[in-house]
Chains A and B, each alone.
Chain A
Amino acid sequence: AQSVSQHNHHVILSEAASLELGCNYSYGGTVNLFWYVQYPGQHLQLLLKYFSGDPLVKGIKGFEAEFIKSKFSFNLRKPSVQWSDTAEYFCAVNAHSGGYQKVTFGTGTKLQVIP
């Protein structure tokens, strides 16, 4: 069964600081990888996704993530965070299995950006 682990549960940064959120997954087969963001009181929104090709994926709002297959990792990065990035971030993996799919989420990382 697939699983996802996010190393940081709560991160506090000052504006303009750089961000890196860790995500590791376990699954031996082909996976699609996602980062979702959930702003306070809102639903999940897709930040970026990796299906194949270039392992460095660029998403919305200046976020990017790098898929490192040998490390089973898909870390999220942003060079300079803003107060509006305060939210919870979920890494997710979608394993291909018999044509059906489900997404397994990590436990989430709460990011607090201090002005």
Chain B
Amino acid sequence: AAGVIQSPRHLIKEKRETATLKCYPIPRHDTVYWYQQGPGQDPQFLISFYEKMQSDKGSIPDRFSAQQFSDYHSELNMSSLELGDSALYFCASSPRAGSSYNEQFFGPGTRLTVL
């Protein structure tokens, strides 16, 4: 079965650089969520989108922005990277109807290392 795809899987950047993470949801899933998981931490909700509109916002820094496109994929843009941004960034998708309603399916994550 198709799963959530994230790219790249690994990314190394230097301080003050920018990074763009991509998330491709499961087909027919119209809601996308972004989470940040620091080393030894639990996943922290950043932001979510439903039908290309921001639906909820969590602890996303102002240096980060995200959007969802017409094909439902989403991109997380991170600017002025700091050492503390080093983390695993998960994307999840869910459908708005059906037996899996409200269940989030997670991608493999992008491991971002800021040097």
Contact = CB atoms under 8 A, between A and B. Distances in A.
A104 B92 CA distance: 13
Contact of A43 (B55, B102, B107): B107
Nearest to B101: A51
Interface string A18-38: 000000000000001010100
Majority SS of interface residues in chain A?
strand
Contacts of A104: 45
Please classify the interface of chain B as helix (H, G, I), strand (E, B), loop, or mixed, using the class held by over half of its residues. Answer: strand
B33 A103 contact: yes
Interface residues of A, number: 21
B33 A90 contact: no
Interface of B: 31, 33, 41-45, 48, 50, 55-56, 58, 90, 92, 94, 102-109
